[in-house]
Chain A
Amino acid sequence: MFEDLLRRLNGEHTRSEVEEELRFHLDLLTEEQQQRHASLAEAKAGARKQFGNFEQVRDECVAISRRNRPYLRALKIFFNLIFVGGVLVHVFSFDYHVTRVGGLLIFTAILSHLLLYMRQLSPGSVAKPQASTSLMLSEPADKHFVFYDQDRRTPVERVIFKE
């Protein structure tokens, strides 16, 4: 258990979990290729091609996993403790002022959770996608389509400023 804790602190746990997850995907892709009567070497190469850059994806996922999350979890646990403390103080205290402190703790915990939730909804709270997040149309709809014309106008500009 202590070794596991040390591995978690060193970030090794995150890395091995990410690798296990990606390896699972890659293995299934290899099996899929083999079912199409490819040899093992061909299947592995096909799977790699379909998957993309394994090392880059792994490093990106490890980096995302390591940032913020332990801190966020610790914050949530802390707010939960404040909430429970507030409830206990509020329920078991006989003094009016102490009861109000309990109420204040409950309010603070709820507000903090709300702020965390709003942060999660905010699109600007997380870094922009890296190069490995690629999604493309496999073929252009019209191979002779010209995005910029000779006057460097986009299709929308051509429609708006049609002469």
Chain B
Amino acid sequence: MTNGRTDLLQGTLELLILKTLSRDPMHGYGIAQRIHQSVDDVLKIEDGSLYPALYRMEERGWIESEWGTSENNRRAKFYKLTRAGRKQLQGQSANWDRISKAVTKILQTA
């Protein structure tokens, strides 16, 4: 625990992105905004760090991208979940649930 910050588990950002995209296709800025709103500033996410995660997820086939027009009439790249992505979201959500329950259980036994 250095500089008042705590690294979270790897894959957490991917889970947040998958969950965010499970509702609607969005561009990177939209995804960042939605995540910032959802986590109420508890999690600190540099917006730029979303993009390597998005590109890796697209590489794995969890999401697909398509160029479109944004709400301010600019060309923007929109991402949407694939079927493999939905499956991944289910799996990762279940995993997260198991881990958090296990940690809570250990903490409650103290």
Contact = CB atoms under 8 A, between A and B. Distances in A.
28 contacts: A20-B75, A21-B77, A22-B28, A24-B76, A51-B48, A52-B47, A52-B48, A57-B49, A61-B52, A64-B52, A64-B55, A65-B55, A117-B84, A121-B87, A129-B10, A132-B52, A133-B53, A134-B7, A135-B8, A135-B49, A136-B5, A136-B6, A136-B7, A136-B44, A136-B45, A137-B43, A159-B106, A159-B109
Nearest to A128: B10
Given A24-B76, A137-B42, 7 more contacts: A21-B27, A28-B29, A120-B62, A129-B56, A132-B48, A134-B7, A134-B45
A138 B44 contact: yes
A8 interface: no
A120 B84 contact: yes
Which 9 residue pairs of A and B lie closest in terms of their CB atoms, listed nearest first? A120-B61, A52-B46, A52-B48, A57-B48, A64-B55, A138-B44, A137-B6, A136-B5, A60-B52
A20 B27 CA distance: 12
Nearest to A57: B48
Size range of the chain B interface in the assembly: 35 or more
A134 B49 contact: yes
A53 B27 CA distance: 19
A146 to B, nearest CB: 9
Interface of B: 1, 4-8, 10, 12-13, 16, 27-29, 32, 41-49, 51-53, 55-56, 59-62, 70, 72, 74-77, 84, 87-88, 106-107, 109-110
Interface string A1-37: 0000000000000000110111011011100000000
